[in-house]
Each structure stands twice: as structure tokens, then as C-alpha cells.
Amino acid sequence: MINSKTPPHSAPSLSVFFPAYNDGATIASMVITAITTAKELTNDYEILVVNDGSSDATRDVLEELSHRYPELRVIHHPTNQGYGAALRTGFNEASKSLVFYTDGDAQYDPREMQLLWNELVPDIDLVNGYKISRSDPFHRVIIGRIYHHTVKMLFSLPLRDVDCDFRLIRRTVFDQITLEKNSGVICV
């Protein structure tokens, strides 16, 4: 549930970003919803989209949106470099004290960013969402479950859903780690 009150001036700043690859059909609604939600959380925010070499209408949709919304910044990879590369670009370009990201394919609702925001207390650096149900074909659900249990066991991660790319992270975390991978394994 989103708060309709004006955000306090003391609220932390927020970067919202979406890695996008062939998300032309969904990215506009994601960006517009993120702008509305971010405005309710803080007065200091930016929206970033990393277009990872999409071959559909993603580029055109983003260019049109960037003319309408000055808080939107679009970064284009000339060719598809992989999910990890899109995430690295987004994390490197994010300039605010908190960084929220989720994919541009509309599997998650950006309005639920507030749920993560409410859980990010001073001694917590990362809040991770989780899927209640998947919108994927059956074989992807099975692969996802195997991946989740394997990664959780190998790395002793205390996460309910290691494969949920719906996260709010303090910017300072990225000062302490180096991200290198171009694949989805970067999330682990």
C-alpha cells in the first residue's frame, strides 16, 4: 500500500533502475509506475533504464519516455552484453544512496518497492523480495526451484527466493564489492 502523504525531506535518495532486453511492450508501464512510486517515497530520486541491445521497440519507447520524464535516464548498450553487464552498468550509473532494481519485463510490480523501503532499517544493507507465484512455463518453474535450492545450499544464503530480482540495496554495498560477471550469476 502506498502512502499518499508527501515524503519527508529527510528521506534517503533513491535510484530505480531496470535492466531491459526486448521489453518494448512492458517498459513504459514499469517506468511510469516507478516514477509515481518513487515520488511517494522521496523527493530525491532518479529512474534509469539500461537497454541491453534490444532488437524490438524498446529503444524507441525509452527515447519517447525520456522526452516526457526528465527524471528518466536511458543507457543503451549497442549490442546485447548479457544480464550481468546490464546490472553492472545500472549499479555503476546509479547515483543515489539507495538503489532499487527489477527487470523491465513486468514480472514484478514496482509499487511494491514500498514494501522493501519499509523493511530497510539502519542496520540492513539489502532487502530482497520473493515471488508468490511464477508466471513462467512449467519447465522454467522446475529449473528455477532447482537453481534456488542449489544456490541457497552452496552459499548458505538466508533468502526466501535467491532468484528474485526485486531488490533494494544501499549504495555503499557497491563500494565494498567488485561485480565482474556478464551472466545472471552476478546476482548471487
pLDDT string in tens for the chain (188-residue length): 445 556 666 799 999 999 999 999 999 999 999 999 999 999 999 999 999 999 999 999 999 999 999 999 999 999 999 998 999 999 999 999 999 999 999 888 999 999 999 999 898 888 876 566 656 677 766 766 665 556 556 656 556 554 557 789 998 888 876 655 554 544 54
Instruction: Write the burial class of residue 134 (CB in 10 Å: 0-12 exposed, 13-18 middle, 19+ buried).
Output: middle
What residue ranges do the domains of the chain occupy? 14-129+165-187, 131-163
Q: How far apart are CA 158 and CA 141, in angstroms?
A: 21
Q: From the options 3.90.550.10, 3.40.190.290, 1.10.260.40, 3.70.10.10, give the CATH code of 14-129+165-187.
A: 3.90.550.10
HEC string of 52-96 equals ECCCCCHHHHHHHHHHHCCCEEEEEECCCCCHHHHHHHHHHHCCC
> Which H/E stretch holds residue 49?
strand 45-52
State the pLDDT at residue 188. Answer: 46
Residues facing residue 168 across a β-bridge: 100, 127
